[in-house]
Amino acid sequence: MSNNINENHPNNNNNNQEQVEEAEDLTFEQIGLDPRLIRALTKKNILNPTPIQQTGIPLILEGKDVVARAKTGSGKTFAYLLPLLQKLLLLDNNNNNGNNNVGPSAMILVPSRELCQQVYSEVLSLIELCRVQLKVVQLTGEPSFSEMAAALAGPPDILVSTPACVQRCLSSGVLKAKAIQDSLSILILDEADLLFTYGYEKNLKDLKAHIPKRCQCLLMSATSSDDVESLKKLYLHNPYILTLPDSDGKDDIVPNTVEQFWIQCSERDKLLHILALLKLDLVQKKVLVFTNTIDTSFRLKLFLEQFGIKSAVLNAELPVNSRLHILEGFNAGLFDYLIATDDSEMKEKEQTDGDKQAEKKRSKRRKKRKLDSEFGVVRGIDFKNVYTVINFDMPLSGAGYVHRIGRTGRAFNKGQSVSIVSPEEMEVFEEIKLFLGENEETELTCIDPFPHLEKNAVEFLRYRAEDVARSVTKIAVKEARAQDLRNEILNSDKNNNKSGRGHKARSKKAGDPLKTFSADAKGQKRKGKDFGPKQKKKQQV
Ligand SMILES: Nc1ncnc2c1ncn2[C@@H]1O[C@H](COP(=O)(O)OP(=O)(O)OP(=O)(O)O)[C@@H](O)[C@H]1O
């Protein structure tokens, strides 16, 4: 039977809301965090724990299995990374001769390469700021035998990877089942609600056999689902279930710092409306726009370009290091508009439809362009300082909507979203509203009509916009897409060549996403070094 935090945790009251309110006043010191970690956080200007950190960290430090469901941007990553590092620091202190393990002490499994890179960078940065001797490696994609062997030699204290990649290490014999049995003390399944969706169900079921009983397991998720339930049953023993409501007591799933708006217009007028939003500065920057297909993102990019609005596109067909460059550039504030294609739900839908025709077409397309099955642009990616999220195309489900909107209003920040809804999308829009308001009747009106868009302003732009829209033909889109891909592959090759020795070179400058490649296998043992700030390059959009 599952433990509920309210019944079991020593500091607990009998309901979640009181638990959160009480926890709101706690500091990192009060929740028992190591001073080295607190100093590292201070250098990052992170001064007070978020609610999930206040409740989760003490439980994890106590050694409990925990399921943490907290909304997007609530700080789940530090909620598990901080206690994990503290435990490893303690092990390190108790074991002066260094790590005697034959395998990793901790594994963090995530659904996508981007998340792998993001979590890896966070761990590395904390380790650097603490100036301690812990080794972290990341493995994604399809690394070669020697890359896997190099990454796991040592062995690392923390392995950040995807379930498929760990499976690959196991089946190639680079990682021995016995090494996991003997060494693994913490396993973290991050973005747990996505692990099955991204196709890792079999990998995770197979891996379970190798996880020692004593291993502490943590499951982090933004939404609850049957998949999270299955994973919980598979991996966790008698876990604490943390479900954190807002400080105002509402258990809604979009942060209450995010204002949600919508605009209704015909499919054809969507370009016109987004132009008005951006050109007339009706929405605050930075802006992340979501489309459902790559072609739509290029159409939008080309269209906006004609009005002097420069944007970058992000999608699954770009080489992984191009994607990381784009993310890095956007996060560093080098450009304000990013058009991301979130086609994960389209893929799911296609799969469940089982439509043979679609399957035929899809495999034809795949022959031409290989999409990255480990790509995840929406879920869990920490886009920095996004104020506005625009759904140019609507997502296909409530959970998809929540994950998209969750790219703004992160941590204690404010944000807004604008969904541009065509009549064809009204059905899914109604479903989304129901999903958001399933707990309370009043929540059904949580998405308001966008207040700042005057009819006159739209009409003023219409003539020119329609003209430009006509000039963005299918051929122009196709060419732009192909050209962009060629450029990115070239840049990607150049970067690989510049760094010369692939991940060997990277291990000297690990953590710099501008030097990260598709089969990432890197790690480093750092002893008492003074680590300078990460090097940044200018990103050309
Ligand atoms: N205590 C804190 N104070 C201020 N900022 C924080 C704190 N903890 C985390 N953050 C920042 O908040 C942002 C969101 O954190 P994080 O990525 O862990 O959210 P999340 O809950 O995992 O979201 P998602 O479900 O979308 O993955 C990050 O930029 C992180 O650095």
Ordered per-residue pLDDT tens for the chain, 541 residues: 333 333 333 333 333 333 443 445 789 999 999 999 999 999 999 999 999 999 999 999 999 999 998 888 889 999 999 999 999 988 766 665 555 678 899 999 998 888 899 999 999 999 999 988 899 999 988 888 988 999 898 899 999 999 999 999 999 999 999 999 999 999 999 988 888 877 888 899 999 999 999 999 999 988 777 888 888 888 988 889 988 755 444 445 777 889 999 999 999 999 999 999 999 889 999 999 999 999 999 999 999 999 999 999 999 888 878 888 888 889 999 999 999 998 766 555 544 444 445 444 544 444 444 555 555 656 668 888 999 999 999 998 888 888 899 899 888 789 999 999 999 999 999 988 888 875 444 444 477 778 877 788 788 889 889 999 999 999 999 999 998 888 877 776 666 555 433 232 233 333 332 222 223 333 433 333 322 333 333 333 2
- Exposure string for 235-262, b = 16+ CB within 10 A, e = fewer: bbeebbbbebbbeeeeebbbbebbbbbb
Q: Are 338 and 376 in contact (CB under 8 A)?
A: no
CA of residue 392 to ligand 1 center, whole Å: 25
Q: What is the pTM of this model?
A: 0.75
> What was the pLDDT predicted at 7?
35
User: Considering only CA atoms, which residue is closest to atom 15 of ligand 1?
Assistant: 75
Ligand 1 pocket test: pick from 76, 121, 401, 403 the residue with the most ligand atoms within 8 Å of its Cβ: 76
CA of residue 484 to ligand 1 center, whole Å: 32
Ligand 1 within 6 A of CB of 24? no
CA of residue 382 to ligand 1 center, whole Å: 7
Please, is 351 exposed, middle or buried when counting C-beta atoms within 10 Å of its C-beta (0-12, 13-18, 19+)? middle
- Beta partners for residue 67, in sequence order: 219, 241
Ligand 1 within 6 A of CB of 54? no
Say how many residues make up the chain: 541
Using alpha carbons only, what angle is made at residue 428 by residues 426 and 430, rounded to the nearest 5 degrees?
A: 70
Instruction: Sort residue 45 into left (φ over 0), alpha (ψ -120 to 50) or beta.
Output: left
> What was the pLDDT predicted at 388?
96
Does an H or E element contain 227, and which?
Answer: helix 226-235
CA of residue 29 to ligand 1 center, whole Å: 19
CA of residue 433 to ligand 1 center, whole Å: 25
Ligand 1 pocket test: pick from 27, 46, 80 the residue with the most ligand atoms within 8 Å of its Cβ: 46
Ligand 1 pocket test: pick from 26, 30, 78, 385 the residue with the most ligand atoms within 8 Å of its Cβ: 78
Ligand 1 within 6 A of CB of 49? yes
Ligand 1 within 6 A of CB of 290? no
- Beta partners for residue 440, in sequence order: none
Q: Are 429 and 396 in contact (CB under 8 A)?
A: no
Return the SS3 of 201: helix
Whether the complex's predicted ipTM surpasses the cut of 0.85: yes
Q: Where are the alpha helices (H) located in 32-140, listed in sequence order? A: 35-43, 51-61, 76-94, 113-130
CA of residue 500 to ligand 1 center, whole Å: 34
Q: Are 189 and 239 in contact (CB under 8 A)?
A: no
Would you give the DSSP letter of residue 439? S
The number of the ligand 1 atom at minimal distance from the alpha carbon of 384 is: 29
Cβ neighbours, 10 Å, residue 174: 20
Using alpha carbons only, what angle is made at residue 129 by residues 191 and 46, rounded to the nearest 5 degrees?
A: 60
Ligand 1 within 6 A of CB of 415? no
Task: State both tokens at 81.
Answer: 């990374």
> What was the pLDDT predicted at 529?
31
Distance CA 506, CA 46 (A): 28
- Exposure string for 390-416, b = 16+ CB within 10 A, e = fewer: bbbbbbbbbbbbbbbbbbbbbeeeebb
